[in-house]
């Protein structure tokens, strides 16, 4: 089976290395990104360690023509998009033209938030849905009929969150509940990289997400909060007590659509004081702005300039120590009895580094990206149309998580989040 992997950053490098290990499935791997030297470095590292044949290419994933030419010449069974959310629609468009399955890890975002065409649609969506985050699923869900007609599958958001958190939800629904009433997704990174400020995945995407208004789903509607307004403390297995903050997150939107009868869905992520102080300061001085400003006769986008100054998340592996704990607490009913379970994974940054040379955030995203691609390519998770992870049978994915390095635990009656 041939796979085309687009992007060669922190997450992609884990996904590529895991595909190389699963060389009984992925016999030919094309790595294509903006900077081909990064693809060649991974090719050089992995070629002797895998039976898969690895090729590299340069591609501008903003260009449907370039993507179509590459897909047309390599003829993969699937395209795994681990570049940036800005390129989701062009890559989906190229997959449609070439009738090839599509997998990604993050929903579409428009890079240029000053673009008037995008802005008017965004403002309409804010009025209709009531959350102001720059990203939502509508752009990609609109491809459903086209993908269905072409007989190809798009699996959206096959990282950890989104991704595994939705597989956990489908698993809880299938094996533990008749009705799920509440879902709390808890994303804890107890790792320390030693820098005063760095992000553990692409800085631009990370800071756009964290500095945005928070929101959660309750009783059929969105409730929006100010950025980081809601704070809780939780004692995480393997990590200890951490402060966590309510964020808007994309899987809330698809779970609200797909989990019938759910009353409340919230997403919390942990942050240390140093991260929050730096982020607030950068926001106050305008460095998180996504809109171009005049600078010395040219235009720069402040958040893109900031990205150039911050450490590359792909280089944090050696210095990050500690663990992550990501999972979901569910409450609901089974046979008329109220119950609660917590499904989570604990991942050790240094163990990940020893295995694939990456920190745990890239690892916990890259492994599910590979698993999603593997299930689609083998036809286990294959339906024509555009789908999110909770819309498939969770069992093969859960089995693969145990096999490929992200074992999970089901805890009965966990401490609830108030």
Cα gap 101→3, rounded to integer Å: 10
DSSP 392: S
Nearest distance from C-beta of residue 250 to ligand NDP, angstroms: 8
Nearest distance from C-beta of residue 364 to ligand NDP, angstroms: 7
* Nearest CB to ligand NDP, comparing residues 159 and 191: 159
Nearest distance from C-beta of residue 369 to ligand NDP, angstroms: 8
* Interface ranges with ligand NDP (CB under 6 A): 7-12, 33-35, 38, 59-62, 82-85, 87, 105-106, 157, 159-163, 201-202, 205, 313-314, 361, 365
Cα gap 363→313, rounded to integer Å: 12
* Nearest CB to ligand NDP, comparing residues 39 and 177: 39
* Nearest CB to ligand NDP, comparing residues 181 and 312: 312
Cα angle 223-219-393, degrees, rounded to a multiple of 5: 105
Nearest distance from C-beta of residue 205 to ligand NDP, angstroms: 4
Cα gap 262→259, rounded to integer Å: 6
Could you give the C-alpha distances from 114 to 33, 106, 153, 193, 290, in angstroms and in order?
A: 26, 21, 32, 34, 8
Nearest distance from C-beta of residue 386 to ligand NDP, angstroms: 17
Could you give the C-alpha distances from 343 to 161, 181, 185, 324, 400, in angstroms and in order?
A: 13, 16, 10, 14, 16
All residues at 6 or more sequence positions from 24 whose CB lies less than 8 Å from its CB, including other chains? none
Task: Check: CB of residue 101 under 8 Å from CB of residue 153.
Answer: yes
Cα gap 292→276, rounded to integer Å: 24
* Nearest CB to ligand NDP, comparing residues 90 and 173: 90
Cα gap 106→84, rounded to integer Å: 8
* Nearest CB to ligand NDP, comparing residues 62 and 243: 62
Nearest distance from C-beta of residue 352 to ligand NDP, angstroms: 13
* Nearest CB to ligand NDP, comparing residues 193 and 332: 193
Residue nearest to ligand NDP (CB): 9
């Amino acid at each position: 089976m041939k796979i085309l992997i687009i992007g060669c950053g922190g997450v992609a490098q884990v996904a590529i290395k895991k595909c190389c290990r699963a060389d009984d499935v992925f016999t030919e791997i094309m790595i294509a990104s903006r900077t081909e030297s990064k693809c060649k470095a991974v090719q050089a590292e992995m070629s002797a360690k895998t039976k898969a044949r690895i090729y590299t290419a340069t591609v501008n994933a903003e260009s449907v023509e370039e993507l179509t030419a590459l897909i047309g010449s390599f003829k993969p069974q699937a395209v795994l998009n681990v570049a940036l959310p800005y390129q989701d629609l062009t890559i989906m468009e190229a997959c449609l033209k070439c009738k090839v399955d599509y997998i990604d890890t993050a929903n579409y975002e428009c890079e240029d938030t000053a673009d008037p065409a995008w802005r008017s649609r965004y403002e309409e969506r804010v009025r209709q849905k009531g959350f102001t985050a720059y990203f939502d699923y509508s752009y990609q869900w609109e491809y459903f009929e086209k993908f269905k007609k072409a007989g190809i599958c798009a699996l959206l958001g096959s990282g950890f969150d989104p991704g595994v958190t939705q597989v956990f939800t489908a698993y809880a629904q299938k094996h533990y509940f008749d009705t799920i009433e509440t879902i709390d997704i808890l994303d804890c990174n107890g790792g320390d990289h030693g820098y005063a400020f760095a992000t553990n995945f692409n800085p631009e995407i990370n800071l756009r997400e964290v500095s945005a208004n928070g929101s959660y789903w309750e009783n059929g509607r969105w409730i929006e909060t100010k950025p980081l307004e809601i704070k809780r403390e939780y004692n995480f297995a393997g990590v200890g007590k951490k402060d966590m903050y309510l964020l808007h997150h994309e899987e809330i939107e698809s779970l609200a659509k797909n989990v019938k009868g759910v009353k409340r869905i919230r997403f919390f992520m942990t942050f240390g004081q140093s991260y929050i102080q730096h982020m607030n300061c950068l926001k106050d001085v305008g460095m998180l702005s996504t809109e171009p400003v005049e600078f010395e006769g040219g235009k720069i986008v402040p958040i893109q300039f900031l990205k150039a100054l911050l450490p590359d998340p792909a280089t944090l592996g050696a210095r990050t120590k500690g663990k992550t704990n990501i999972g979901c607490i569910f409450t609901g009913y089974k046979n008329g009895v109220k119950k609660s379970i917590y499904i989570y994974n604990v991942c050790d940054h240094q163990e990940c580094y020893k295995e694939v040379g990456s920190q745990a955030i890239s690892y916990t995203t890259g492994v599910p990206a590979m698993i999603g691609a593997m299930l689609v390519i083998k036809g286990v998770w294959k339906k024509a149309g555009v789908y999110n992870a909770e819309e498939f049978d969770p069992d093969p994915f859960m089995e693969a998580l145990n096999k490929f390095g992200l074992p999970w635990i089901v805890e009965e009656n966990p401490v609830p989040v108030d």
